[in-house]
Amino acid sequence: MSKKLLLGVNVDHVATLRQVRGTSYPDPVEVALLAEKAGADYITMHLREDRRHIQADDVLRLKQLQTTYLNLEVAITDEMLDFAVDVSPQDCCLVPEKREELTTEGGLDVANQLDLVKKAVDKLHKANIRVSLFIDTDIDQIQAAADSGAKVVEFHTGHYADAPAEDKERYLNNLTDGFALADKLGLLVNAGHGLTVENVSSVAQIEYVKELNIGHSIVARSVMVGIEQAVSEIREAMGLGFVN
């Protein structure tokens, strides 16, 4: 029997579109509920310290309304860890955060801040929240993740996704080796970042992969597949009728 691979849909960039205009739409929660209907196994939201996309209220509303479960991404700060404990998502993914970055550019440096990570993992475990650490496929980081007490890691696939065609295989081999090591150390292994319809299948086929977390490409694609209907609807509202 083939393994059951889970899809986590990240709706952060629906909120990005809302925040640039300060409107109430598009609502990431409404989109998350549609994603669940379409087969998302769970929903991911990243509450960033600068609140550039998802707001605390989005997380609270999603938690009330969703039919699957929440994977909340946060940085390791007291404020965020307290918020996670209050919200009580099934999963909490600890990520590094830099104010100036466009997106989460690299994995969490677990090896050089093991005590801090251990304390965060411990606090979330005590609240019955499963913790995953977003890391690069680096041997020291994988070992440190296992030492931290976390049961799950999520590998950063952005380097593979961004690599030029001639380097893709090297990055994929690196990911594959990372998966094998993490599995050997008893960790569940997920992956995400930069995955698209074009590049996801190679990662989905790696042995040991349990869940893939995908956001930006799905939100971007939904614009492409939805624009015709959106234009038709506004024409109709203007009394212009449909175009065949």
Q: Identify which of residues 23 and 103 has a Cβ nearer to ligand PXP in the complex.
A: 103
Task: For residue 238, give both structure tokens.
Answer: 């203007």
Measuring CA to CA, which residue among 75, 18, 78 is closest to residue 47? 75
Contacts of 20-29 with CB under 8 Å at 24 or more apart are: 28/53, 28/54, 28/58, 28/62, 29/58, 29/61, 29/62, 29/65
The Cα 155–Cα 107 span in angstroms is: 8
The Cα 198–Cα 224 span in angstroms is: 15
Q: Does 54 bind ligand PXP (CB under 6 A)?
A: no
Q: Does 104 bind ligand PXP (CB under 6 A)?
A: yes
Site track 15-44 with ligand PXP (rule: CB under 6 A), x = hit: ------------------------------
Q: Identify which of residues 144 and 218 has a Cβ nearer to ligand PXP in the complex.
A: 218
Q: Does 154 bind ligand PXP (CB under 6 A)?
A: yes
Helix count (H) and strand count (E) of the chain? 10, 8
Binding segment (CB under 6 A) for ligand PXP, from list 27-35, 111-119, 172-180, 212-220: 212-220
Q: Identify which of residues 178 and 194 has a Cβ nearer to ligand PXP in the complex.
A: 194
Per CB under 6 A, which of residues 173..192 are in contact with ligand PXP? 192
- Tell me which amino acid residue 216 is: H
> Can you say how many angstroms the Cα of residue 189 is from the centroid of all Cα atoms in its chain?
13
Q: Does 46 bind ligand PXP (CB under 6 A)?
A: yes
Smallest distance from ligand PXP to CB 42, Å: 12
The Cα 146–Cα 123 span in angstroms is: 16
Q: Does 61 bind ligand PXP (CB under 6 A)?
A: no
Q: Does 146 bind ligand PXP (CB under 6 A)?
A: no
**Which residues bind to ligand PXP, rule: CB under 6 A?**
10, 12, 46, 73, 93, 95, 103-104, 134, 154, 192-195, 213-217
